[in-house]
Amino acid sequence: MVIWRFIVPLLIQTAFILAVPAQSVYTVITGKTAILQTQPVDPYDLLRGYSVTLNYEISRVDNLAKLPGWTDLVKQYPGTDKKYQPLASGTSFYVILEEEKSSGKVPQAWKPVRLSEELPTSLPANQIALQGRYSSYNSISYGLETYYIPEDQRNDINQDISAARPTQPGQRQPIVVEVKVNAQGKAVLISMWVRDRKYQF
């Protein structure tokens, strides 16, 4: 009886620990591929030693505010300040992304077309729903913001990202990421393109 008091909590803790990578593996196997456009940032902010901090064009409130569905979200979950916190902190929603046809080697980032409070039950084959969460100070996260760099790729990624910095104001960041999105809108990073070079995660 005494040994079960030790084994049962241990098994429960182990199950919780294994559930996180199991969910990611499930998403990689069953998820649908989408391409996200990163947002231009200073390479010194992007690179944090052993990790890459990624922000996306769909992480910007001013980009999402132009989409159908934003006004409904703000009315349903109003924030404390129209300018600096238009949505209530913790508001969860879905960004509907539509595939853009790629003409070259580097895949084209998918285009956000609308927002939805609820997970859509049926979408065309060329669209996916990605779950995002709004937090304070106009920050939107998708669980795709940090990537830990494998040691054997660190120098190459650092050099390529630094060299890929936009040279003119308004120039699009030449970095896109490939993700897998499952049926619930959860996503996992798969790869990153820095200009025409692909890094597998």
98-114 tens-digit pLDDT: 998 877 788 899 999 99
pLDDT value of position 15: 46
| Torsion from C-alpha of 58, 59, 60, 63, nearest 10 degrees | 10
**Tokens encoding 158:** 């650092």
Beta-bridge mates of residue 22: none
Backbone angles phi, psi at 183, to 5 degrees: -65, -20
Least confident segment among 47-61, 76-90, 102-116, 132-146: 47-61
pLDDT value of position 161: 76
Greater confidence, 83 or 46?
83
147-173 tens-digit pLDDT: 777 777 777 777 787 777 766 666 677
Greater confidence, 41 or 38?
38
Is the pTM of the predicted complex or chain greater than 0.85?
no
pLDDT value of position 19: 44
pLDDT at position 125 over 70 = yes
Q: pLDDT class for 20, splitting at 50, 70, 90?
A: very low
